Structure 1
Amino acid sequence: MGYILGISAYYHDSAACLLKDAEIIAAAQEERFSRIKNDESFPTEAIKFCLKFANISLAEVDHVVFYEKPFLKFERLLETYVHFAPRGLKSFLKAMPIWLKDKLFIKKKIARALNSIDPKCEKSHTILFTDHHHAHAASAFYPSPFEKAVVLTVDGVGEWATTTVSIGNSAQLTLKKEINFPNSIGLLYSAFTYYLGFKVNSDEYKVMGLASYGQPVYKQLIYDHLIDVKADGSFLLNMNYFNYCTGLKMTNKKFDKLFGHPVRGNDEEILAFHKDLASSIQRVTEEIMIKLTQSLYREFAIENLCLAGGVALNCIINSSIRKHSGFKNIWVQPAAGDAGGALGAAYSVYNTHLSGIRNSESQTDGMKQSLLGPSYTQNEVITALRVYGLNYEKVEGEFYHREIAAYLAEGKIIAYFKGRTEFGPRALGCRSILADPRKSEMKAILNAKIKFRESFRPFAPAILEEFASLYFGEGPKNRYMLFTENYLGDQTGRQALDAVLIPGAVHVDGTARVQAVSKVHHPDFHQLITAFYNLTECPAVINTSLNVMNEPMASSPEDAICCFLNTEIDILAIEGLLVNKKKIGL
């Protein structure tokens, strides 16, 4: 059936994905090339990368598909403004020229952008469109290992839908029910993100991290005034407190009055109030999702659940669903946000439009460890190092991992660059900053001197799959950092089992967002952690993304070098080469 190019763009986190039949060939976010975090622009460079990786021209692509339907989105916008009129006139006047000029006639805009990449493709493609939430659902189900599953998508809003339930069965994906705008769990959570002084559609994970420092003392207030939740988990928001339908802000003065504080400025101190509020909205969202998934399990009696949409990146909620919903198996799309929409759009065309054949196997990783982006040869890296005047040491084979392990054991912080760039928000051991998790002070060092970010932000452990149950209990562990696990070592340093403690990779609430590293699916990273274990008897490392706050994750050698030079990272380990700041006098 040939090649299918999926595209997401023009809202946030634009991306491109290339399928060949049912196989993901390449996928990348535009931010990794533009260096603009959550870049919303047309993914020109991401598309060029996908084509280059497949060694094809754009004219050779059989189908191009966009991840949502702009006319339906415009319909929702107009109907919303009419419903709330005369409120929202200022927002309406600001939005309309953009829609009429750029967003409404997206088909022509996409065609022009594709033509600029390859003039030969101008008339050779019919550009297809799929529903936003169908793209999310497709991204969750088709790469999953399940033949049959309930598929739940939850985010801010697509065209109209904010929450959808579908049933995936072999190659079929059938919508069963949906909740529509303005009722949205994602927008409710984003409203609190805004109120707490963080950036909407970008910093929701900060609210999740902050929640562990507070108590859910405002939970009942939220239930009493902001949201009405039914027994089956469906819900209605009280729009008297929100401004996102008609305004340029998420919340209004009535919201401020309810909680007794104004919106926090992003440079203002985080108070106990903010921690408690984060804890409260996290708990409310968690309880709604549990109620919703329990209802779905009772209704459909299917053992498997797939999740996508921005809310599916909340690993605390995912863990609660796994524990309380009744579903036996849960699979979450690692690029669950809008970037994954490009992937889902392509899958949707293959399975729905082209009647593709799906082969689901429990041991197959359809996402290829999410290592779907660009890679670079050692010679390309050497060229980049020479541009910056950096000397390097070339280390062969297993000695490379041993030397990195020795640096980690000394307390050094490593920028680790190897193979293909991760697709999605998580660093999984190819564009990572690594550190020794045995040192509890490592969290503060990494936040202050490397990431330049808030002190409350936690770090995750990447642990050898075969040791994961020793540290985090029995049961399956996730390879994509999409669930939290309870750490068996307590705050006093005692541990239920005889093993080296890893306090540096554990959050204040005694949990960790675990990445179980598989020898089969991620052999290089497994070798590195094994070398560290052989030296220290510690089978885990701290793993965080190779970037500083408010910058995209590194993709190219130049990105990694800049992060290395502009932070207090000690060692750059990049494609078999080691650059040591002390040895080169930096």
Structure 2
Amino acid sequence: MTYILGLSAYYHDSAACLIRDGEIVAAAQEERFNRKKHYAGFPAQAVRYCLKAGGISLAELTYVVFYDKPLLKFERLLETYLAFAPAGLRSFLAAMPVWLKEKLLLKSQLQKELSSLHPTASKVGSLPILFGEHHESHAASAFYPSPYERAAVLCMDGVGEWATTSAWVGEGQALTPLWEIPFPHSLGLLYSAFTYYTGFKVNSGEYKVMGLAPYGKPKYVQAIYDHLVDLKADGTFRLNMTYFNYCTGLTMTGSQFDRLFGGPPRKPESPLTQREMDLARSIQDVTEEVMLRLSRTLHRETRMDQLCLAGGVALNCVGNGRILREGPFTGLWIQPAAGDAGAAVGAALAAWHRFEDQPRRPAPTGDGMKGTYLGPAFSDETIEQALATRGAAYSRLPDHILFDRVTDELAAGKIVGWFQGRMEFGPRALGGRSILGDARNPTMQSVMNLKIKYRESFRPFAPSVLRERVSDYFDMAVDSPYMLLVAPVAGKRRLPTTNQDGDRWGIERLNIPRSDIPAVTHVDYSARVQTVHEDTNPRYYALLKAFEAKTGCAVLVNTSFNVRGEPIVCTPDDAYRCFMRTGMDVLVIENCLLQKADQKPLDGDSNWQEEFSLD
């Protein structure tokens, strides 16, 4: 058998993936193990987990594949500083020590890190280490696990080595590049500039900008087109770099940007104003337009009916939804870990199909990501031992009683931590490590945001819906297993607004009920939909079926099992601590049910806000 380990590291969201003869065995982000969100260092614990899941040692690997080429990235760095010289000296001096000491010697650094994981380091000293190109890794992660034999592939992110956007054609095992847009002209970095300017963290807060956008008006769209982005009819674009600072400075935007939009960037954690909402709406509208134009161009050039997406911009589920509804493609598949973590998957698969010249074999479910349930699972014995160590009070229940009890609690307005099976790979909780609530409850969104997640009140929650019932609730008739498509709530579900409601704007619109599933209906009547499938997550599917049988509603609120700034929980102990630190009412870990009222306070537990940095 051929085992290949894919690695993504040293920028953000480091991860590891193990494939066996082309099949994904395991994949996980390092942050889930070391509890440091967006961790960028070597993914040592993720590698250990992947090897354990595959039942092999490091010495049994055929290849290790890194997700990009550091020498090409260094070339881009040097050429950029030379192009903008003498500006950027401070940034140049800050970047060089790390490159000269570590990144230029990445192969030996990786060999050292891998050897430290093996009891006999000499056995892995000659392990072949390959380097794929960044956008090739993204493209491979999008196409090879997809259900399509032939597809166009579009990758959009901040920047790889040089490419910021790239187009490909996938046919069988072949993946052919078509064209790319080079740095510094980047849709991802443009969006990140507005993320920074509106007071959120770059590479972390972009989804907050997307969630804030419906509260605003597209007031600045024309200013963006007039001053920042020269957008062509085919979707290609150039940025006016006089407004940006990311090539030479330590921030995303500069003084020209401040003057254009009427002041300095918002200070993080300060009150949001209508300006930030309007800026968010404006850059979201521009981003969607670029995504639509690029996808239409790719369809015209390739004449293919299916499209695969990857890269950080592919996490913009509002734009994805518009491509599905308004674009020319009949099929759309998006890599669930579309950012750099997923590039570890692509690097490994590219080595198998391209370097080893191996054919593709269709996955049994048509989706090589296996519902993205690729992380650790825990035995009953391990779970009960963890709970006993904590002195937790719990009941162990058979399935039929467990599902009856949990659906009763949900219907009564209780909030349930749901820990089942293998952990998800990627940024979304999909019923493996989730916090659940009743979508019909009009106060559920505010309670979850303020008392469970401790996050900004404007942020929406996503619905999980039985796949066969999706069209009864949303204007959608396709699979959306990875919560990466936004769709309108069905007209028959919507509630009429009053004249007084129509006069409200911005955050004032938050508490207006909009449908009979208000907890998952955003202010623009949209929802980020997860369709739940029996073949990939039978227990979560069974819970939804039981809830529908009891209430007539086939939808639950589903948010990730964590607090703000914390990675999604990985272990039973992570879940118990998060449960005890929040206003969650019930915790379910496999067949163990815990009530908050029955638990003793955590001994000597630190405040979570001291443990996790706000994102």
How does the TM-score come out when normalised to structure 2? 0.93
Aligned letter for 1:80? T
1:530 corresponds in structure 2 to: 545
* Cα deviations by residue, 1:241-293 (Å, 9 ceiling, x for unpaired): 00000001000011000000211111211001100000000000000111111
Q: 1:354 aligns with which of 344, 353, 356?
A: 356
Q: Tell me the equivalent position of 1:562.
A: 577
> How does 1:388-407 map onto structure 2 within 5 Å?
388-407=390-409
Q: Which amino acid aligns with 1:106?
A: L
Which amino acid in 1 is paired with 2:8? S
Paired letter, 2:596: K
Q: 1:490 aligns with which of 475, 480, 494?
A: 494
From the superposition, tell whether residues 493 and 564 of structure 1 become closer, same or farther in structure 2 (CA, over 3 Å).
farther
Deviation sequence 1:539-569 (CA, Å, 0-9, x none): 1110000000111000111110111010000
Any idea what SS the aligned residue of 2:465 has?
strand
Matched residue of 1:355: which SS?
A: coil
* Residue aligning to 2:611: none
| Pairwise CA distance, 1:440 | 1.6
Which of residues 511, 518, 529 in structure 1 aligns to 2:526? 511
User: For 1:84-95, what aligned pairs fall within 5 Å after superposition?
Assistant: 84-95=84-95
What letter is aligned with 2:564?
M
Distance 1:123 1:182, change over 3 A: same
The structure 1 residue matched to 2:480, chosen from 459, 478, 484, is 478
Matches within 5 A, 1:5-154: 5-118=5-118, 119-154=121-156
**Closer, same or farther in 2 for the Cα pair 1:493/1:221, shift >3 Å?**
closer
Q: Distance in 2 between matches of 1:346 and 1:363?
A: 21
- SS of the equivalent of 1:542 reads strand
Query: What is the number of residues matched between the two proteins?
Result: 581
What corresponds to 2:517 in structure 1? 502
CA–CA distance in 1 between the matches of 2:497 and 2:364? 38
Matches for 1:210-249 after TM superposition, within 5 Å: 210-249=212-251
Paired position in structure 1 for 2:568: 553
SS of equivalent residue, structure 1 residue 159: coil
Spell out the pairing of 1:343-382 with structure 2 (5 A cutoff): 343-360=345-362, 363-382=365-384
Q: Secondary structure at the match of 2:357?
A: coil
Q: Give the Cα–Cα distance (whole angstroms) in 2 for the partners of residues 38 and 212 of structure 1.
A: 27
The Cα shift of 1:324 comes to: 1.9
User: Is residue 573 of structure 1 aligned with residue 575 of structure 2?
Assistant: no
Contact (CA 8 Å) 2:18, 2:348: kept in 1 or not?
yes
Deviation per CA, 1:387-446, whole angstroms, max 9, x where unpaired?
Answer: 211111000122211111111011110000000000000000010000011112100000
Offset at 1:11?
0.1
Question: How far apart, in 1, do the equivalents of 2:528 and 2:451 lie?
Answer: 22
- Aligned equivalents of 1:559, 1:116: Cα separation in 2: 26
Residues in 2 aligned to 1:76 and 1:201: alpha-carbon distance in whole angstroms: 20
Moved more, 149-158 or 352-361: 352-361
Task: Indicate conservation of the 8 Å contact 1:477/1:514, yes or no.
Answer: no
Q: Are 1:59 and 1:120, in contact at CA under 8 Å, matched by a contact in 2?
A: no
Structure 1 CA distance for aligned equivalents of residues 597 and 411 of structure 2:
17
Give the match for residue 197 of structure 2.
195
Write the letter of the residue equivalent to 1:14. S
- Is 1:468 aligned to residue 483 of structure 2? no
Task: Indicate if the aligned counterparts of 2:418 and 2:588 stay in contact, CA closer than 8 A.
Answer: yes
Change (3 A) 1:585 1:363: closer
Mapped partners of 1:57, 1:12: distance in 2 = 26
Distance 1:474 1:318, change over 3 A: closer
Structure 2: state its 5+ residue gaps.
499-514, 602-615
CA shift for structure 1 position 575? 1.3
Structure 2 matches for 1:302-341, cutoff 5 A? 302-341=304-343
CA distance in 1, matches of 2:583, 2:363: 44
Q: Distance in 2 between matches of 1:562 and 1:545?
A: 15
Structure 2 distance, partners of 1:424, 1:134, is: 19
Amino acid aligned to 1:89: L
Q: Which residue of 1 aligns with 2:298?
A: 296
Deviation at residue 376 of structure 1 after TM alignment:
0.5
**In 2, distance between residues paired with 1:459 and 1:377?**
30
Q: SS of the residue aligned with 1:360?
A: coil
Pairing partner for 1:422 from 421, 424, 433: 424
Cα deviation, residue 84, structure 1? 0.3
1:497 match:
none
SS in 1 for 2:168: strand
Residues in 1 aligned to 2:566 and 2:136: alpha-carbon distance in whole angstroms: 30
Per the TM alignment, residue 122 of structure 1 is displaced from its structure 2 partner at its CA by 2.9
- Contact 1:216/1:276, CA 8 A, preserved across alignment: yes
- Can you list the C-alpha shifts for 1:23-58, whole angstroms capped at 9, x where unaligned? 100000000001000000100000000001111101
1:114 Cα offset (Å): 0.3
1:448 is displaced (CA, Å) by: 0.1
Could you say what secondary structure the match of 1:105 adopts? Answer: helix
Shift of 1:492: 3.0
Percent identity (aligned): 52
In 2, Cα distance between equivalents of 1:363 and 1:525: 17
Distance 1:383 1:477 in 2: 38
Give the deviation of 1:520 after TM superposition: 2.0
8 Å CA contact retained: 1:216, 1:283: yes
Kindly report the root-mean-square deviation, in angstroms, between the aligned alpha carbons of the 2 structures. Answer: 1.3
Could you give the per-residue CA deviations for residues 455-502 of structure 1, whole angstroms, max 9, x where no partner exists? Answer: 0100011011111111113521301101011102224399xxxxx921
On the 8 A contact 2:62/2:128 being kept in 1, the answer is: no
Match of 2:558 among 539, 543, 547: 543
Corresponding residue number in structure 1 for 2:388: 386
The Cα shift of 1:21 comes to 1.1
Partner of 2:257: 255
Q: Aligned partners of 2:188 and 2:56: how far apart in 1?
A: 38
Q: Which residue of 1 aligns with 2:607?
A: none
Which 5+ residue runs of structure 1 have no aligned equivalent? 495-499
Cα deviations by residue, 1:68-97 (Å, 9 ceiling, x for unpaired):
000000000000000100000000001001
Q: Which moved more, 1:362-371 or 1:78-87?
A: 362-371
Partners of 1:249 and 1:585 in 2: how far apart? 46
Question: Take 1:56 and 1:493, find their aligned partners in 2: how far apart are those partners?
Answer: 60
**Matches of 1:294 and 1:249, distance apart in 2:** 33
Q: Does 1:521 align with 2:547?
A: no
The alpha-carbon deviation at position 508 of structure 1 amounts to 1.1
1:362 Cα shift? 9.2
Aligned mates of 1:214, 1:475 — CA distance in 2: 29
> Which stretch shifts more, 236-245 or 506-515?
506-515
